[in-house]
Amino acid sequence: MLHRKVTEYHLFEIFQTYGTVEKVVLCGNREDNFHRRTTNDFIVVFSDETCAKNALIMMNDGLVDGKSLRVRFENDINNHEGTYRPCKLKLHF
């Protein structure tokens, strides 16, 4: 389990190395009744597809806080053109 002190801002700092990050969002509930994070999934949204691809290549199977990271593209078909824009990455620890 990823330590709960690893925040969206922490991941923002890591991933901005690969380009302009629009936002980082924790998926699901932040903490349960025992103050444990109930999910280790995050979404990182880049402003550019090339940046997202570079981050995926460099960070997939990488380590954050000593935990292995899986990175994959998250579908984004809700943009203004109604077309696929692969700028959104899903992280799972």
At 13-52, the pLDDT tens digits run 999 999 999 999 988 765 555 555 567 889 999 998 899 9
pTM, two decimal places = 0.79
Output the six-digit token pair for 23. 């936002």
DSSP 3-state of 93: coil
Query: Which alpha helices (DSSP H) does 1-93 contain, by range?
Result: 8-15, 49-59
Strand 67-68 and strand 70-73: the pairing is: unpaired
| Other beta carbons less than 10 A from residue 50's beta carbon | 11
Residue 62 resides in a domain? yes
Residue 1 lies in a domain: no
Give the CATH number of the domain where residue 84 resides.
Answer: 3.30.70.330
- Domain extent at residue 13: 8-92
Distance CA 22, CA 15 (A): 11
Residue 87 lies inside a defined structural domain of this protein: yes
